[in-house]
Amino acid sequence: MLLYPTLFLGLLYFKIFRVRRQQEKIALWHNVKGVLTLLATLALIVFGFMTQSWYAVLIAIILSAVIASLMITTVQLGIFIDGKPLLKISAIYRLMPLLALLTISGSLVTITTYYLG
C-alpha cells in the first residue's frame, strides 16, 4: 500500500513549496501544480482516515511532517564540505515537479487500487 510513502512525499512537497514561496516569487504554473497536489494529498488523507485507524493515520501525518521539516531545515542550514555546501536548496527546487508527480500518481494508484479491488 502506498498510503504512507505518498503521504510523506506530499508533506515534503508542501514544505518545499512553502520555503520556495517565502524566498522567491512563484509563477502561476507552480500555484496550479500546488493546488493539484494539495487536492491529491487531501484525498489521500481522507482515504487514510476511511480505511485505516484514525490514530495510525494521525501519527503518520505528524511524523511525516516533522521529518520533512527537519530535512528541509537541514538543507537550509547547510552541510558544508571544504567550505562548499553539499546540497543546495536550488537542487531541492528542481525536485518539486517529480515530487508533485509522485504524490498525485501515488494518491490515484492508492485510492483506485482499493476501490477497484
More reliable by pLDDT, 86 or 4: 4
Quote the pLDDT of residue 85.
82
Quote the pLDDT of residue 39.
96
Phi, psi angle pair for 78, to nearest 5°: 95, 140
* β partners of residue 81: 84
The answer to whether the beta carbons of residues 11 and 41 sit under 8 Å apart is yes
Domains of the chain by residue range: 3-116
Residues 6+ apart with CB under 8 A from 13: 37, 41, 96, 99, 100, 103
More reliable by pLDDT, 4 or 79: 4
Give residue 10's identity as a one-letter amino acid code. Answer: G
